[in-house]
Structure 1
Amino acid sequence: MQDNGIQLLNIPMGPGSQDEGEMVLDYMKMPSEMNTYDIPVLPESDAVQSCPQAVAVMEQLQDLLAKYTQGEATQSMVLDAMPDADLDMLNQILGEGEVSAVINGEQPVRIQETVMAGVWRLRSFNTQGDVIAETLEVADVPACVREAAFRTQRILNVDPDNMPQGVLNAPSVLVEIAEASEAFDGSVPEAPHVINLSLLPFSPEDHNHLAESVGAGAVTILSRGYGNCRITSTEVNGLWRVQYFNSTDQLILDTLEITDIPAVACAAKEDLEDSAERLKEIREVLV
C-alpha cells in the first residue's frame, strides 16, 4: 500500500526531564506560531466527479455523523481499497484539524483529526514502517486511543522514607495519585481529579522521580485547540500528564489528570454537530 495519506505528526514518546540549571523540560518541539483554523482549499467540482469513491465516502461519512451519539460505539469505515487518486482527493477535502496522536507499539497507529472535529484519519503501520490499514472514524476520540492508553499498568508503591536524594514533594503527589487511581472507574464518566504541578515547589529530582514512578504510556496527543497542549498517558490507570506550552516552547501549565480521556483531546457534542453541518455544505458545493 502506498504511503499517500494525510501527513501525520511523528511525536516522540517517553517522559520529560529537567535540567537543574535551565529548568526546561526536554520534550518535543512545539509549534512556535499561533494556530488558527484555515478553510481547506477545496478542489474543483469537475475534479471531484472524477473520483467517485471519494464522493461515496463523503456520503457515507455524512451518515456516520448522523448516527454517532457521544458515549456510544464509534462509527468507522475502511479506506484500504480506495484508489490513490480518490484517497488524495478525500485527504484534500478533509484537511488537517487541531488534534493529532500517535500510539506506540508493535503496530504503531498515527491519528490526525480532520478540519471537521470528531472526524479522524487513522493509519496503522507494521514493524517495517509500511501502512497496513487506513481508516476514517467518527468519535469524540478514536476508540484505539482509549484501548491503548493503559494497556501496560503498574501499581504505585510509595515509600516516603526511601526516596532518592533531592526528592522532597513527589512522595505526597504519588500518594494522591495512587489513591485517585485506585478509586477511578473508567466505565462511569466523572469529573477528572486534577493535580496542578505548576503550583507546587517541585525540584528537578521531584520531576524525574515522578516520571520514573508513573512510567510512559503508549499514547501521546498534541492538541492545538487551546494553545499548544501535549497529553501523554502513563502506566498508572487513568493517569494522564497534560502540559501547555507558549509560543516560545516554554511550559506554562503542568498538570496531572486522573480521568478517562482529558477533555482537551476530545470533540464535544457541539463540535460533532457542527462537523455534520459543515460536511453537508461541502457536499452541496462539490457534488
Structure 2
Amino acid sequence: MKAGFWVAPEGEDTAMTVMPIGTEVPVAARKLSFLATATAEEMIQRCRDTAALLPKIADALERQKEGAPGQLYDITDYSEDDRMLITETLGEGEVSGVAVLSNGITAQIQEALMAGVWRIRFTDAADRLVADYVEVASIPAVVAEACSVLPSALAYGQPPAGAMNVMPVLHEISGKMATHKPGDEAHTITFSLLPMSPEDMDFLQETLGAGPVQLTSRGYGTCRVLATGARNVWSVQFYNAMDTIILDTLEICTIPAVAIAAEEDFQDSAVRIREIEEAYFK
C-alpha cells in the first residue's frame, strides 16, 4: 500500500503537489517581542496607517460570523515600513498556504497569530507583488475563488489491472459531489481504513488530479490540506513529528474545517488586537 493519497509514485522524486508547502512558522513570542523594541517604537510613531488599521480589524472581528463574507483591507499602497510593521504586529499563526488563480496570479496566504485574521499577498508569474491585503474571515475568499473553476463532476474510465476498491470509492466521491451544498457537513473517506492497492491509489490520483490550493495547519501536529482537481474534494492528511502520515483522508466539503477559523476565535482575536493597540500604539 502507498503511504498516503498525495505521495509520489514509487520511483519518482516529486510529490503530486502544485507548489511547495511553506516552512515552519516562528513562535508567537518572537513576533510580539519586536513591538517592545526601540526600533518598533520609532516605526510606530511614523507608521500611522498601521495604527489606524488595527481598530478597524478589531471592529471587523467583533462583527464577523463563521462562514459569513469577510472584510478586506487593501494595504498595497502602504509604505514599506507600514507593511513591515503590520507583518510584525500580526505575526504568523498556524495556517499558511497558496492558492493559484486561473489568471496565473498566486495568493500567498498566512494566518496571523490572531485566528481569523489573514495576510494575503498576490504575485504574478514573475513573482512580482501585485496586491497586498489583510482579511478578516473564516478563510480567505481567494481559496473558494481558486476552486470555483474546478469541474463539479467526475469522469473516469475502467480501472487498471490490480485495482481492488477504487471504483466503489470513485462512485462514492461522485455521488457526494453531486449532492453537496454549501454548509453541509464534510463527508470523509479514510484511506487508513480501506484496503487500497497501489494501482487503486494511482488511478484515484490520476482521476482526481491536483488542484489549485495547498494549505498547511500546524496546531497540534501538522495537517496538510490539498485541493484535488475535482470541486469540493480535498486531500486532508495528518502527520506526526517524524513527518509520517498517521491519518490519510479525502473530504468532500466546501473547505475542510481544520483550516477554518471558528466562531469563538473572532472574539478572542478582537481582544488580542485591542490589547496590542493599547499597549504599543497609543
Q: TM-score, normalised by structure 1?
A: 0.85
The 2-side partners of 1:41 and 1:251 are apart by: 34
Q: Name the structure 1 match of 2:257.
A: 263
Q: Name the structure 1 match of 2:109.
A: 111
The 2-side partners of 1:131 and 1:25 are apart by: 27
CA spacing shift, 1:32–1:125, aligned 2, 3 Å: closer
CA contact (8 A) 2:6 2:235 kept: no
CA spacing shift, 1:71–1:55, aligned 2, 3 Å: same
The 2-side partners of 1:76 and 1:41 are apart by: 27
Q: Name the structure 1 match of 2:269.
A: 275
The list of structure 1 runs, each at least 4 consecutive aligned residues, that deviate by more than 3 angstroms after superposition, is 24-33
Of the structure 1 ranges 48-57 and 24-33, higher mean CA displacement relative to structure 2 is found in: 24-33
What is the CA deviation profile of residues 220-266 of structure 1, one whole-angstrom value per residue up to 9, with x for unaligned ones? 11111241111111222211110111111111110011111111000
CA spacing shift, 1:71–1:221, aligned 2, 3 Å: same
Aligned residues: 267
Q: Root-mean-square deviation (CA), in Å?
A: 2.5
Question: For 1:100, what is the secondary structure of its paired residue?
Answer: strand
Structural mapping, 1:135-284, within 5 Å = 135-153=133-151, 155-159=153-157, 162-186=158-182, 189-284=183-278
The runs of 5 or more residues in structure 2 that have no matched partner are none
CA spacing shift, 1:30–1:137, aligned 2, 3 Å: closer
Q: Name the structure 2 match of 1:88.
A: 84
Which of 57, 61, 66 is matched with 1:70 structurally? 66
Using the aligned pairs only, state the percent identity. 36
The runs of 5 or more residues in structure 1 that have no matched partner are 1-13
The 1-side partners of 2:243 and 2:23 are apart by: 7
Which of 16, 21, 24 is matched with 2:7 structurally? 16
Q: Name the structure 1 match of 2:28.
A: 38
Question: For 1:270, what is the secondary structure of its paired residue?
Answer: helix
CA contact (8 A) 1:32 1:248 kept: no
The 2-side partners of 1:51 and 1:185 are apart by: 44
The 2-side partners of 1:59 and 1:29 are apart by: 34
The 2-side partners of 1:30 and 1:145 are apart by: 15
Of the structure 1 ranges 73-82 and 200-209, higher mean CA displacement relative to structure 2 is found in: 200-209
Question: For 2:35, what is the secondary structure of its paired residue?
Answer: coil
Q: TM-score, normalised by structure 2?
A: 0.87
Q: Per-residue deviation at 1:32?
A: 10
